C-alpha cells in the first residue's frame, strides 16, 4: 500500500491528479489535507514555480510525517507579458481574485499585443518527512484567444487555445486534457519515478 498526500485544496487540481495517478500505481491511496484535518498552508514566498512547489511540499510533509507528499505549483506564462501572470496566476486580479476576474484582466493586458503565445507550466515536488525527493516539470504551449470557449476545466482554460486539437483547454474532455496538459506531463514523470524507484523512497 502506497499513501500519497496531495498538498492542495484546489478541487480542479485534485481531480486531475487523481485521474492521472489512480489505477496506474498498484495499491495507491490518495489523500488531501482535508482528510487529515490540516487547515493551514505556507505563505508561498518563492519567486519561481519550482521554489513554491518545494515550499508547499516540504511544509505539508512535515505536518504529516511518514507519508509521501506532492505539491503542484503551476500557472500561465504569456510571452508578450514577460512571463506574467506566472506564479501570481491564481491571484492575478488582486486579493479577491477568481477565474473570471483573472481572465478579464489578462485579456485587457493583451488588448494591444499581437503576440498571443503562452505556456502553461506545472512543477510537482515529491517530499517525505520534510525532505525533498525530486521535482518534475511539465509545459504545454498554446495561444491566448479573446473569446472564452468551453465549460470544462478551470483557471485560464477557456482562453488557452491548444492548436494541435483546435480547442481551448475548457473545450477538452477530461480524458483529452489529461493526455496532453502541463500537469499530466509532470504527473506522468512522477508516476514513472514512483513505479521505477518506489523502493528508494
pLDDT at 12: 83
User: Each residue's pLDDT tens digit in the chain (201 positions)?
Assistant: 789 999 998 888 888 888 888 877 777 899 999 999 999 999 889 999 999 999 999 999 999 999 999 999 999 999 999 999 999 999 999 989 999 999 999 999 999 999 999 999 999 999 999 999 999 999 999 999 999 999 998 999 999 999 999 999 999 999 999 999 999 999 999 999 988 876 544
Q: What is the CA radius of gyration of the chain?
A: 17
Domain ranges of the chain: 2-200
Report how far residue 107's alpha carbon sits from residue 16's, in angstroms, rounded to the nearest whole number.
Answer: 26
**pTM, two decimal places:** 0.92
d(CA 184, CA 201): 21
Q: Which residues contact 33 (CB under 8 A, 6 or more apart)?
A: 5, 7, 8, 9, 39, 41, 60
Q: Which three cell numbers stand for residue 117?
A: 503565445
What is the spatial distance between Cα 104 and Cα 59, in angstroms, rounded to a whole number?
33
Q: Which CATH architecture has domain 2-200?
A: Alpha-Beta Complex (3.90)
Predicted local confidence at residue 198, as pLDDT: 62
Verify whether residue 73 is a known catalytic residue. Answer: yes
* Of 35, 73, 96, 98, catalytic: 73
What distance in Å separates the CA atoms of residue 28 and residue 67, rounded to the nearest whole number? 12
Amino acid at each position: 500500500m502506497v499513501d500519497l498526500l496531495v498538498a492542495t485544496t484546489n478541487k480542479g487540481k485534485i481531480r486531475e491528479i487523481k485521474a492521472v495517478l489512480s489505477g496506474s500505481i498498484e495499491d495507491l491511496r490518495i489523500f488531501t489535507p482535508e482528510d487529515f484535518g490540516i487547515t493551514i498552508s505556507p505563505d508561498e514566498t518563492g519567486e519561481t514555480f519550482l521554489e513554491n512547489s518545494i515550499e508547499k511540499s516540504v511544509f505539508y510533509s512535515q505536518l504529516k510525517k511518514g507519508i509521501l507528499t506532492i505539491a503542484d505549483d503551476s500557472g500561465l506564462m504569456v510571452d508578450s507579458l514577460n512571463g506574467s501572470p506566472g506564479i501570481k496566476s491564481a491571484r492575478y486580479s488582486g486579493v479577491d481574485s477568481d477565474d473570471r476576474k483573472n481572465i478579464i484582466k489578462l485579456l485587457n493586458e493583451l488588448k494591444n499585443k499581437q503576440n498571443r503565445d503562452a505556456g502553461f507550466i506545472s512543477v510537482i515536488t515529491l517530499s517525505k518527512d520534510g525532505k525533498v525527493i525530486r521535482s518534475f516539470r511539465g509545459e504545454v504551449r498554446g495561444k491566448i484567444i479573446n473569446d472564452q470557449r468551453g465549460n470544462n476545466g478551470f483557471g485560464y482554460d477557456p482562453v488557452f487555445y491548444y492548436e494541435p486539437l483546435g480547442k481551448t483547454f475548457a473545450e477538452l474532455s477530461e480524458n483529452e486534457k489529461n493526455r496532453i496538459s502541463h500537469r499530466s506531463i509532470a504527473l506522468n514523470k512522477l508516476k514513472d519515478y514512483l513505479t521505477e524507484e518506489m523502493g528508494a523512497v
